[in-house]
């Protein structure tokens, strides 16, 4: 130890300009360390090419990682990041006097003298290799190597924890479940929100990439079963991809062109508006490590209709309607009930606001700090309880 303060390295080399769940998590975590952390107890050294994401507070230091290791470098970025992480980062950690390295993505040195805590959000590349063949190889051959050498693993959900045990043979006692954090603006009525163009007055909301795993087609087909009896339209916030054409074809086939509104690339203020004013979120994804849209909906005061697969029931609990995966009739029935039963909708809204308190960054960062301190042990160990490790 260089001083009495724990020096935490954060491997954020992958951070780029793109907006996705991983970048949202890391940026939120860094901000939460600044806002809710203890300046007297920790120092943070952030390894990233994105200097703008590093707070200017005295207990934060920026170490430039190469731009070619970020997501912005696209395919080469994955290769470059592996090379930098495995062969350069371990030496930098010793030079900077890092006590413990936090890797908020499944990307860590296999061999290093510095103890590592690795966050695993999901095993999508392993179970859905068609989405990213190169990442599938990485998750098959590289990820298990550094996970076995990590001092501690954090998983977003009990479901991801079970996947890690099943896929990699990691002991359950080596994994701590810590949920993701939702931006404070989703909890506040004072944050600015703006309606996107052509936003309908009443609508059900889907938020997610246009990928088969996310099941946007199931959402559309479930809505088609009941749309003639509802005032609501269906709003989809999704990504531009090759699957979007297939989606447009199904919409045309079902005659829903005038009942569907599709957005891509919306800013946070408009996303906040959509969440707040939706009759409900409908999110039937068949695999999620956590499920940001469901958590954001609950925090914003919207009920959520989700399927019973993977982590989503953990997120919504009794604050949502959980339907069997692939059961479009059940999803359609849930939409009808929420559209027509104001008492039910209000009850779920109240439950959602209460449940979403566990997703506040203040609570999440406290759990992360507990894991770091308890993992490092030594004289820092007593500052926080080991409650997080007992989950």
Instruction: Judge if pTM exceeds 0.85.
Output: yes
Cα dihedral 239, 243, 245, 247 in deg (nearest 10): -90
Q: What is the mean pLDDT of the chain?
A: 92
Band (3; pLDDT cuts 50, 70, 90):
low
**pLDDT value, residue 119:** 98
Cα 54 from Cα 57, distance rounded (Å): 9
What is the CATH class of 184-358?
Answer: alpha beta
Q: Which tens digits make up the pLDDT trace of 171-195?
A: 999 999 999 999 999 998 888 899 9
**Which of 141, 137, 312, 143 is CA-nearest to residue 214?**
312
Q: To the nearest whole percent, how much of the chain has pLDDT over 90?
A: 82
Residue 166 has pLDDT above 50, yes or no: yes
Band (387; pLDDT cuts 50, 70, 90):
very low
**pLDDT value, residue 246:** 87
Cα 250 from Cα 42, distance rounded (Å): 53
DSSP string, 13-57: TT--S---HHHHHHHHHHHHHHHHS-TTTEEEEEEES-GGGS--S
**pLDDT value, residue 242:** 72
What is the mean predicted confidence (pLDDT) over 30-38? 90
What is the mean predicted confidence (pLDDT) over 34-40? 80
Q: Which tens digits make up the pLDDT trace of 313-351?
A: 999 999 999 999 999 999 999 999 999 999 999 999 999
Q: Are 103 and 121 in contact (CB under 8 A)?
A: no
**pLDDT value, residue 342:** 96
**Which of 334, 339, 297, 335 is CA-nearest to residue 315?**
297
Q: Which two tokens mark 159?
A: 């479901």
Residue 380 has pLDDT above 60, yes or no: no
Cα 144 from Cα 151, distance rounded (Å): 13
Question: Residue 176: is it exposed, middle or buried by C-beta count within 10 angstroms (0-12/13-18/19+)?
Answer: buried
CATH topology for the 6-181+360-390 domain? Rossmann fold (3.40.50)
Q: Which tens digits make up the pLDDT trace of 240-268?
A: 877 888 898 999 999 999 999 999 989 99
Q: Which two tokens mark 179?
A: 């949920």
- Strand segments, DSSP code E, in the chain are 6-11, 42-48, 60-64, 100-103, 116-120, 152-155, 175-177, 203-207, 233-238, 260-264, 280-283, 304-307, 320-323
Band (5; pLDDT cuts 50, 70, 90):
confident
Domain ranges across the chain? 6-181+360-390, 184-358
Q: Which two tokens mark 181?
A: 């954090």
Band (13; pLDDT cuts 50, 70, 90):
very high
Chain centroid to CA 263:
20
Which position has the higher pLDDT, 1 or 99?
A: 99
Residue 1 has pLDDT above 70, yes or no: no
């Amino acid at each position: 130890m260089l001083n009495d303060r724990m020096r935490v390295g954060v491997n954020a080399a992958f951070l780029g300009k793109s907006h996705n769940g991983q970048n949202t998590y890391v940026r939120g975590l860094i901000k939460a360390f600044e806002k809710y952390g203890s300046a007297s107890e920790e120092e943070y050294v952030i390894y990233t090419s994105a200097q703008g994401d590093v707070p200017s507070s005295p207990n934060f230091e920026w170490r430039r990682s190469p731009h070619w290791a970020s997501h912005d470098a696209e395919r080469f970025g994955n290769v470059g990041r592996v090379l930098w992480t495995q062969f350069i980062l371990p030496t930098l950690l010793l030079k900077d006097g890092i006590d413990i390295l936090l890797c908020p993505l499944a990307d860590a040195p296999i061999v290093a003298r510095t103890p590592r805590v690795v966050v695993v959000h999901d095993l999508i590349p392993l179970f859905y290799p068609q989405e990213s063949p190169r990442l599938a190889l990485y998750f098959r051959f590289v990820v298990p190597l550094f996970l076995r050498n990590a001092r501690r693993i954090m998983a977003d959900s009990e479901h991801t924890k079970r996947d890690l045990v099943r896929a990699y043979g990691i002991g359950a006692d080596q994994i701590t479940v810590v949920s993701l954090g939702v931006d404070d603006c989703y909890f506040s009525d004072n944050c600015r929100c703006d309606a996107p163009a052509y936003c309908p007055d009443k609508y059900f909301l889907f938020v997610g990439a246009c990928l088969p795993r996310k099941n946007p087609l199931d959402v559309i087909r479930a809505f088609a079963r009941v749309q003639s009896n509802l005032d609501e339209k269906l709003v989809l916030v999704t990504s531009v991809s090759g699957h979007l054409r297939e989606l447009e074809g199904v919409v045309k086939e079902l005659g829903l062109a005038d009942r569907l509104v599709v957005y891509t690339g919306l800013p946070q203020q408009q996303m906040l508006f959509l969440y707040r004013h939706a009759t409900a979120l409908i999110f039937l994804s068949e695999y999620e490590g956590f499920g940001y849209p469901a958590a954001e909906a609950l925090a914003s005061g919207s009920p959520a209709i989700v399927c019973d697969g993977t982590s989503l029931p953990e997120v919504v609990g009794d604050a949502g309607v959980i339907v069997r995966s692939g059961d479009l009739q059940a999803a359609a029935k849930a939409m009808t009930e929420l559209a027509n039963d104001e008492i039910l909708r209000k009850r779920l809204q109240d439950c959602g606001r209460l449940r979403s308190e566990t997703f506040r960054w203040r609570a999440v960062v406290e759990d992360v700090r507990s894991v770091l301190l308890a993992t490092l042990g030594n004289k820092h160990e007593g500052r926080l309880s080991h409650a997080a490790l007992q989950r």
